[in-house]
């Protein structure tokens, strides 16, 4: 039996959804996109000067056409990520501006070379089902910041990608890159390799960009992952239940816009909810209440039968220390027990302000433990102990039993040397172990084989997107002398 955790009583889920529908009907949501307003108004929403009120029936109709599950595929067309049911996957946190420097252990602006290293480490770790466009590369102009990250991921990885656009024109570039990678827009629709995070602004504001983003993705039939971010006590009601209501209302509004644009387009009930720390004014991602919010939000989405996402496995510590291990490890376990389909956040420190490849390597261990946990305690033989005792008697020589050898790999997870289980005469610090492991992993990385035709198609798109820009610099791609 698989262990599961539900943080909300069923009756509470019903009340949360009732309030969310009521919130949309009475207060409504801001919608910045004229096209989205038109779609909603034509479908029966009440459009006023500064908000759009959605009748419950409208949102419910949208829910009826949403796919209950979908898959993300690898470059070779293998199903890798199953969004749906209680399947659990992990990817690194995304869009971080800074990196914890591997030499100095100090934060600094992230560069393309940092993102490339993180992609390569993520690629060789099976615990991460998907890549993310993890960092904003500060060595390229911000005008290409979003699609350039995706290009690097596509260039160095075969895995599915959790990504997101910074503007509508660049969203089209990203969709073009993905279509080139898949072999055409129709193939991309059939076997999507990426999901796009789309973020409403709390409270209840679907900005021009966010709403239009949902529409464009829907029309391309590319999955959208709504990342609603209520901050309990600041941009959302202070109670956890209140923030979960707001999250639900924001997701319902986004889904309604998306389904009106293209019924049946895939969507994820996702988020990065957090509490607002009343002492410091920070948004602690490692707080237990933040984890509780993530679990509650996901449970509401699950009650509607939708694919889910959450933001966990991050820490607010600024270094690899006990706090980082505690916060990230704890939330990895909770997210896995809750059956959240995609859990983002691994590798992140300092309130999501800093990424760390060494922390990603540490978080992999927490994730592997969480994955082991949800495999549960399994009946693997006809008898659990009687058969073994029949062979050893009270001598207890279990180590030599054939079934020990046959089953120990299924029963036990073996962590890497990042986890200190050895009586080394000269114990190394956690940082040193993670650093060493990072280099070991990087040494095993091989760039995937990409056909020259695909590479050229992607580079042609990049080239067109850079026309008129002062810079023609593509670090990481140029360094391989490929263009």
Partner 1 sequence: MRQSVIDGAPEAASALAKEAIGEGLDPLAVIDSGFVPGMAEVGEQFAKHQMYLPDMLAAAEAMKAALDVLEPALRKMGEERPTAGTVILGTTKGDIHEIGKTLVGTLLTANGFKVYDLGVDVAPEQFAGKARELNADIVGVSALLTTTMRGQRAVVEAIQNAGLRASVKIIVGGAPVTRRWADEIGADGYAKDAISAVELVRNLLRDKSVRATVSA
Residues that bind partner 1 (CB under 8 A): 399-400, 402, 404-405, 408-409, 414, 416, 422-425
CB 324 within 8 A of CB 331: no
SS percent in the chain: helix, strand, coil, step 5 = 45, 15, 40
CB of 427 vs partner 1, minimal distance in Å: 11
Q: How far is the CB of 361 from partner 1 (least distance, A)?
A: 15
Q: Residue 96: which residues within 8 A CB-CB, separation 6 or more?
A: 110, 134, 135, 136, 348, 352, 353, 354, 355
Q: Smallest distance from the beta carbon of 262 to partner 1, in angstroms?
A: 49
Least distance in Å: CB of 409 to partner 1?
Answer: 8
Shortest distance, CB of residue 364 to partner 1, whole angstroms?
15
Shortest Å distance, C-beta 374 to partner 1? 23
Residue closer to partner 1 by CB (options 401, 482) is: 401
For partner 1, the closer of residues 127 and 316 by Cβ is: 127
- Dihedral (C-alpha) 92, 87, 67, 63: value to the nearest 10 degrees? -90
Backbone angles phi, psi at 236, to 5 degrees: -155, 160
Give 130's contacts (C-beta < 8 A, 6+ positions apart): 72, 80, 81, 89, 90, 91, 159, 160, 161, 162, 342
**Closest to partner 1 by CB, 318 or 437:** 437
The full DSSP string for 383-396 is: SSSHHHHHHHGGG-
Report DSSP letters for 389-440, one per residue: HHHHGGG--GGG-HHHHHHHHHH-----TTS--S--SSPPPHHHHHHHHHHH
Residue 480: count other Cβ atoms within 10 Å of its Cβ.
11
Q: Compare residues 186 and 424 and give the one whose CB is closer to partner 1.
A: 424
Environment class of 317 (CB within 10 Å of its CB; exposed 0-12, middle 13-18, buried 19+): buried
Burial track 140-150 (b if 16+ CB lie within 10 A, e otherwise): beebbbbbbbb
Which residues have CB under 8 Å from 191's CB, separation 6+?
71, 73, 77, 182
Nearer to partner 1, 60 or 404 (CB): 404
Report in angstroms how near the CB of residue 378 gets to partner 1 at its nearest. Answer: 18
Q: Which is nearer to partner 1, 227 or 418 (CB)?
A: 418
Minimum Å gap between C-beta 418 and partner 1 is 12
CB-based contacts of 176: which residues, under 8 Å, 6+ apart?
Answer: 461
Do residues 345 and 312 touch, judged by C-beta distance below 8 A?
yes
With a CB cutoff of 8 Å and minimum separation 6, the contacts of 408 are none
> Which residue lies nearer to partner 1 by CB, 409 or 446?
409
Between 1 and 399, CB nearer to partner 1: 399
CA distance 178 to 174: 6
Please give the structure tokens belonging to residue 452. Answer: 């020259």
C-beta of 117 vs 437, nearer to partner 1:
437
The least CB distance from residue 417 to partner 1, in Å, is 8
What is the nearest approach in angstroms of partner 1 to the Cβ of residue 405? 4
Q: Extract the tokens encoding 87.
A: 């399947």
Residue 404 Cβ vs partner 1, minimum distance, rounded to whole Å: 5
Q: Rounded to an integer, what distance in angstroms lies between the CA atom of residue 88 and that of residue 3?
A: 13
For partner 1, give the closer residue by CB, 407 or 442: 407
Phi, psi of 162 (to 5 degrees): -100, 115
Query: Which tokens go with 270?
Result: 């996702």
Question: 281 or 425: whose CB is closer to partner 1?
Answer: 425
């Amino acid at each position: 039996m698989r262990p599961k955790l539900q943080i909300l009583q069923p009756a509470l889920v019903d009340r949360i959804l009732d309030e969310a529908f009521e919130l949309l009907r009475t207060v409504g949501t801001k919608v910045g996109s004229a096209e989205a307003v038109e779609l909603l108004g034509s479908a029966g929403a009440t459009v006023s000067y500064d908000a759009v009120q959605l009748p419950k029936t409208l949102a419910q109709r949208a829910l009826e056409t949403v796919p209950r599950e979908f898959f993300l595929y690898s470059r070779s067309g293998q199903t890798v990520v199953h969004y749906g049911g209680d399947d659990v996957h992990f990817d690194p946190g995304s869009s971080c501006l800074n990196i914890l420097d591997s030499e100095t252990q100090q934060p600094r602006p992230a560069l393309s070379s940092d993102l490339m290293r993180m992609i390569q480490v993520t690629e060789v770790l099976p615990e991460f089902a998907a890549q993310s466009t993890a960092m904003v590369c500060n060595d390229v102009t911000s005008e290409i910041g979003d699609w350039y990250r995706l290009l690097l991921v596509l260039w160095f990885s075969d895995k599915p990608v959790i990504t997101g656009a910074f503007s509508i024109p660049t969203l089209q570039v990203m969709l073009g890159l993905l279509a080139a990678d898949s072999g055409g827009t129709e193939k991309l629709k059939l076997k999507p390799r990426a999901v796009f995070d789309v973020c409403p602004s709390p409270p209840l504001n679907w900005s021009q960009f966010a709403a239009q983003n949902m529409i464009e993705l829907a029309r391309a039939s590319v999955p959208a992952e709504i990342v609603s971010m209520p901050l309990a006590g600041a941009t959302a009601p202070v109670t956890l239940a209140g923030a979960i209501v707001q999250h639900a209302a924001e997701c319902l509004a986004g889904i309604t816009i998306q389904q009106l644009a293209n019924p049946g387009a895939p969507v994820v009930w996702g988020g990065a909810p957090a509490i607002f720390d009343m002492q410091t004014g920070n948004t602690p991602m490692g707080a237990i209440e933040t984890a509780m919010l993530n679990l509650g939000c996901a449970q509401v989405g699950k009650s509607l039968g939708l694919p889910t996402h959450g933001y966990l496995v991050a820490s607010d510590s600024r270094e690899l220390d006990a706090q980082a291990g505690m916060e990230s490890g704890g939330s990895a376990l909770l997210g896995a027990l809750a059956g959240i389909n995609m859990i983002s956040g691994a590798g992140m420190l300092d309130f999501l302000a800093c990424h760390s490849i060494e922390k990603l390597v540490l978080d992999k261990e927490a994730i592997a433990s969480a994955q082991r946990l949800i495999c549960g305690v399994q009946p693997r033989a006809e008898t659990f102990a009687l058969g073994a005792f029949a062979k050893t008697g009270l001598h207890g020589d279990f180590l030599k039993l054939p079934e020990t050898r046959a089953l120990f790999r299924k029963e036990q997870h073996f962590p890497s040397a990042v986890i200190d289980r050895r009586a080394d005469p000269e114990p190394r610090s956690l940082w040193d172990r993670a650093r060493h492991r990072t280099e070991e992993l990087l040494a095993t990385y091989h760039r995937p084989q990409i056909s020259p035709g695909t590479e050229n198609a992607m580079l042609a798109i990049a080239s067109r997107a850079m026309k008129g820009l002062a810079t023609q610099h593509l670090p990481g791609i140029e360094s391989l002398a490929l263009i």
